[in-house]
Amino acid sequence: MIKRSILIEKKAVITCKNLQLCIDTADRKASIPIEDIGFLVIDHPETYITIPALNYLIENNSGVILCNKVHLPNGMFLNLNSHHIQQQLFAFQIEASAPLKKKLWQQTVQEKIKNQGILLEQITKNKNKFEFLSSKVLSGDTSNMEGVAASFYWKSFFESGFKRERFGDYPNNFLNYGYAILRAATARALSGSGLLNTLGIHHKNKYNAFALADDIMEPYRPIVDECVYNLIQKYDEQELNTLIKADLLNILTRTVYFKEEKSPLMVALQKTASSLQQCYTGVRKKIKYAKLWN
C-alpha cells in the first residue's frame, strides 16, 4: 500500500485517538489511520502536536518533517529503533572498507549521470554525452565526473543564466523543497534498514547528520528536477504555494521501475536502502537503484 503524505499549512491541533491521527483546524476536522501515513509535513508555526501522537507516528516509522519560516523542510523525527539487529548493522557499516565505499560511490554517480542524461534528452529533444560521461566515472569518482556532468546539465536544463544555488533565486526554491522531501524519504528508508544516516559512503562533512541520505538520494534527484520543470511550465507563480508543495510531495508516489516491476518512489527507496545494507554485510556487490523511466 502506498503511504500518504500529509501537509499541514494552517494552524492546527494534532492528537491521536484509537490509532487515528486527529487533525483539528478552524474550518475542518479530519482523522487518518496512523498506519497509512508515510510523512507528516508541518508548515505552520502555530501547529500543536501531542507527544502521544508523535510517538505513535514514530513507532509506525512515519517521517515527521518540520518546516522553517521560509517554508522549507528543516528537520525530521525518525524512529531510533527501526530495525531488530541495528547494532550489528551499525558495526558492518562502520567497518566498511574504503575500496567498497569508493565502488559504491562510483556506481551511485554513474546512475545519477545516466538519469540526468535521459531527462535532459527528454526536455531538449537532443542527444547528449551523459552515457559516455557515466562510463568514465572512476572508483570514488576521483576525476569528478559528477561535477563535469552537473555543469553541462544545469546550463542546458533551464533558460540561460540559471545558476543552481542552495539559497539562490527561483526556481532554486522549488528544487530545494523537492530535494528536502527526497532527502527525508531517503533518510527514513535508510533508518528502516538499520543503517546510520550519519556515516556516508562519500559525503563526510562533520556537521552533516544525514550524509548517507545525501549519498543515496543522488540518482533520484532528476525526479525532482523533472517535477520542477513541469511546474514551471504549468504555473507562473515563483513562490512556494499549497499546490506547488503538494505536487512536490507527490514525487514520493511517482512510479519508478525495477526491470519491469513498477514501484512508487517511497517503496523503491526502501529497496535501495535494503540493498545497501546487503552491500555492507557482503551479500551484494551493488546497490539496487530503480530506473526512473521505462
Q: Give pLDDT tens digits for 95-111.
A: 999 999 999 999 999 99
Q: What is the pLDDT of residue 83?
A: 62
Whole-angstrom Cα distance, residue 101 to residue 95? Answer: 11
Q: What is the pLDDT of residue 84?
A: 66
- Known binding-site positions: 146, 203, 218
- Known binding-site positions for Mn(2+): 146, 203, 218
Domains and CATH numbers, the chain: 4-77 (3.100.10.20), 86-281 (1.20.120.920)
For the chain, give the number of residues: 294
Q: What is the pLDDT of residue 1?
A: 67
Q: What is the pLDDT of residue 3?
A: 87
Q: What is the pLDDT of residue 162?
A: 81
> How far does the chain reach from its first CA to its final CA, in angstroms?
22
Q: CA dist 65 to 4, 38, 39, 74, Å?
A: 14, 11, 7, 7
- Under 8 Å between Cβ of 185 and 39: yes
Helix axes 221-234, 98-124, angle to 10 degrees: 20
Q: Looking at the whole model, is its pTM more than 0.85?
A: yes
Q: Give pLDDT tens digits for 59-95.
A: 998 999 999 988 888 888 888 776 667 788 889 999 9
- Residues of the chain with pLDDT below 50 are none
